[in-house]
Amino acid sequence: MNNRFELEKGSRKYICPNCGKMSFVYYRINGNGAIIHESVGRCDRIEKCGYHKKPREWFNEHPTIRPDYKSVKPIPEVTTNPISYIPLKYIDERANTRNSNFVYFLFNLFDWETIKKTIDPYFIGCTEDMAVVFPQIDEQGKCRTAKVQKYDRETGKRQGVYLYHGDKKIKPNLPNPYNLQMCLFGLHLIRSKNNIGKTVCICESEKSAIIAAGCMPEHIWMAAGALDWLNVEKLKPLRGWNIVLFPDTSTTGLAFKKWTKIADEATKAGLLVMVSTMLEDNCTDEEKANGYDLGDYLIDRILNKKQAIEPETPEEEPQAEQYSVSDDLKNMIRLNPAVQMLINNFDAVEVSTTES
């Protein structure tokens, strides 16, 4: 089994699930480069942290998952240990403070009333050094962790990040070891009756989700937190909701390809997931080379007023479809007109469910 997985090479580091520092290296699957799980890897802080979960250990803990990353049976994943949570009192303490550099940056885009209405439902907070706290609260209203992210207050660029459950001030009061099972940022919003019937839109970063929520509050905006943090398991709580994914751009289209594959797998699992091509179709080659995401796209349009975010166009007579649509999708549109809205408003595309 070990020959099929290896630690990622290069200097890139990720957030350690144990200490919360940007010092983690994933084990990746040879052949497709996918991660096994966000908890499988090694922390480079060998003395101060020492976290190292090997692939064999993870698969032993999850006997319903094969090493080829396919479920043996179509049953929910069973974890050996219960999920760990951060008491909400620690999130409430942070949520009472909105003076982060991130919120300061938002004043370049919105007025205070819009900012307040946008950030309050997410329980966004602030640390003593002005970093923003993005809590991951699940569909049961429990906090699994929080991403603590530093931003430049003028440019909105990222400067540093760690996971809140690794904070030395609260760590002594949390379960040890901490069994981290991350969820989507904003997942708890599906608990609100006011959000019933809305489309769930998912982008990579929390920053993009907040900016998009300020621009388009008629939808529910969530974030995976990182490119490799999105998977079908995290989408399963959204069964029954219309979902649109907004992958970041790149010159190779890596994120778009990865998230399209996830959407395909989620569709096979019975979820209604589409992928927006808006960024792929509208970003320039230079913007893609800079890794433009939805937040960058919206900021550029807001600050420079290049074009309206959702330009109005005169109604026209229905025209012939520009691409082949499956009978299943036609039936979905007939039963749920909101599906057609996803296609029109977000350049969403149907993903193939054909077995490879």
Look at residue 85 and tell me whether its pLDDT is greater than 90: yes
Q: How far apart are CA 225 and CA 107, in angstroms?
A: 23
* Residue 151 and residue 220 in one domain: no
* Residue 194 and residue 241 in one domain: yes
Look at residue 341 and tell me whether its pLDDT is greater than 70: no
pLDDT digits (tens, 9 = 90+) for 138-169: 999 999 999 999 999 999 998 888 888 888 88
Look at residue 302 and tell me whether its pLDDT is greater than 90: no
How confident is the model over 334-345, as a mean pLDDT?
54
* Residue 226 and residue 273 in one domain: yes
pLDDT digits (tens, 9 = 90+) for 95-133: 766 789 999 999 999 999 999 999 999 999 998 889 999
* Residue 161 and residue 45 in one domain: no
Q: Domain residues for 311?
A: 185-356
Q: How many domains does the chain have?
A: 3
**Cross-strand bridge partners of residue 125:** 133
Q: Is residue 32 part of a domain?
A: yes
- Which pLDDT band holds residue 309 (cuts at 50, 70, 90)? very low
Instruction: Report the residue count for the chain.
Output: 356
Q: Is residue 242 part of a domain?
A: yes
Q: Identify the three-state secondary structure at position 292.
A: coil
* Residue 226 and residue 174 in one domain: no
- Which pLDDT band holds residue 326 (cuts at 50, 70, 90)? low
Other Cβ atoms within 10 Å of 302 Cβ, number: 16
Asked which of 183, 215, 237 is the last residue of a domain, the reply is 183
* Residue 115 and residue 216 in one domain: no
* Residue 294 and residue 331 in one domain: yes
The mean predicted confidence, pLDDT, of the chain is: 82
pLDDT digits (tens, 9 = 90+) for 56-68: 888 888 777 665 5
Q: How far apart are CA 345 and CA 322, in angstroms?
A: 16
Asked which of 167, 183, 199 is the last residue of a domain, the reply is 183
Residue 116: per-residue pLDDT? 93
